[in-house]
């Protein structure tokens, strides 16, 4: 069965600079991601991965060509509609965990609700946060502060925060980049589990080829150009 497309990118180019200094960070990318897929973009530093991911998440709309996410043309959405789409259907995980040190783990996970277009009631959001923390294996650490946690645990908190609204799409930029090898393996396993249990569509950009073990398809990115994919679908 063919699943619906979650992402459709057509001829998308993102250039920085102008005149002779202009450089295409992403150069005529075209691809689709279907619901429930795990898609990896692997490439060396500077190849355009973060730029591409920012385009998929509507964080960078300075591109030409078209990026459609959940059937919305991102370039055509106003800021309000875009932030609603992001807040409700897309989760982000970055290399740096971006936790607020003065808040507890639970408060960090619920923090996005403070800025939500349609915030949930505090009781509801706390209950969801506890479910998300249990999912990432941190149910017992809800009251800890980030400074008391290991790097792997901090990334788990960031993943729980991204999951709080159970987004259908999770966009991850070098999610294992700040972790030692063994801890990185645990986080990769966690993504695999989340995908199996929640059916979340995952797009992960990374320089680490080992993430291919959880991917349905992977693209190689070189100097802004997406190379032909590999994988099962």
Which residues would be at the binding site for ligand ADP (CB under 6 A)?
A: 16, 25, 43, 45-51
| String marking each residue 130-169 x if it binds Mg ion according to CB under 5 A | ----------------------------------------
Sign of CA dihedral 35, 92, 117, 145: positive
b (16+ CB within 10 A) / e for 145-179: bbeebeebbbbbbbbbbbbbbebbbbbbbbbbebb
How far apart (Å, rounded) are the C-alpha atoms in residues 31 and 225? 12
How far apart (Å, rounded) are the C-alpha atoms in residues 219 and 199? 21
How far apart (Å, rounded) are the C-alpha atoms in residues 40 and 206? 8
Q: Choose from Mg ion, ligand ADP, none: what does 47 bind? Cβ within 5-8 Å by kind.
A: ligand ADP
Q: Residue 47 interacts with Mg ion (CB under 5 A)?
A: no
Q: Could you tell me the smallest distance in angstroms from the CB atom of residue 174 to Mg ion?
A: 6
Q: Residue 201 interacts with Mg ion (CB under 5 A)?
A: no
Q: Choose from ligand ADP, Mg ion, none: what does 184 bind? Cβ within 5-8 Å by kind.
A: none
Closest CB to Mg ion among residues 50, 155: 50
On whether the CB atoms of residues 128 and 67 are closer than 8 A, the answer is: no
Q: Residue 50 interacts with Mg ion (CB under 5 A)?
A: yes
Closest CB to ligand ADP among residues 36, 65: 65
Q: Which residue's CB atom is positioned nearest to Mg ion?
A: 50
Q: Could you tell me the smallest distance in angstroms from the CB atom of residue 145 to ligand ADP?
A: 30
According to DSSP, residue 166 is labeled -
Paired sense of beta strands 201-206 and 38-42, if any: parallel
Q: Could you tell me the smallest distance in angstroms from the CB atom of residue 60 to ligand ADP?
A: 8
**Residue 95 neighbours by CB under 8 Å, 6+ apart:** 173, 174, 175, 177, 178
Q: Choose from ligand ADP, Mg ion, none: what does 199 bind? Cβ within 5-8 Å by kind.
A: none
Q: Choose from ligand ADP, Mg ion, none: what does 232 bind? Cβ within 5-8 Å by kind.
A: none
Binding site for Mg ion (CB under 5 A): 49-50
């Amino acid at each position: 069965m063919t699943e619906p497309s979650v992402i459709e990118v057509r001829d998308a180019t993102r250039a920085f600079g102008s005149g002779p200094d202009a450089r295409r960070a992403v150069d005529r990318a075209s691809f689709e991601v279907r619901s429930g897929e795990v898609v990896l973009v692997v490439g060396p530093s500077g190849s355009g991965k973060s730029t591409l991911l920012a385009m998929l998440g509507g964080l960078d709309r300075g591109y030409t060509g078209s990026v459609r996410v959940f059937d919305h043309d991102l370039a055509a959405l106003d800021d309000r509609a875009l932030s609603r789409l992001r807040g409700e259907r897309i989760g982000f995980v970055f290399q740096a965990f971006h936790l607020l040190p003065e808040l507890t783990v639970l408060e960090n996970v619920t923090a996005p609700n403070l800025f939500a277009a349609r915030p949930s009631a505090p009781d509801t959001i706390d209950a969801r946060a506890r479910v998300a923390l249990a999912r990432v294996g941190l149910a017992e650490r809800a009251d800890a502060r980030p400074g008391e946690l290991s790097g792997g645990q901090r990334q788990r908190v960031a993943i729980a925060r991204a999951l709080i609204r159970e987004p259908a799409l999770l966009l991850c930029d070098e999610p294992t980049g700040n972790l030692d090898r063994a801890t990185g393996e645990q986080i990769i396993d966690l993504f695999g589990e989340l995908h199996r249990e929640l059916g979340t569509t995952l797009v992960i950009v990374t320089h680490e080829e080992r993430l291919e073990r959880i991917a349905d398809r992977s693209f190689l990115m070189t100097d802004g150009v997406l190379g032909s994919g590999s994988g099962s679908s």
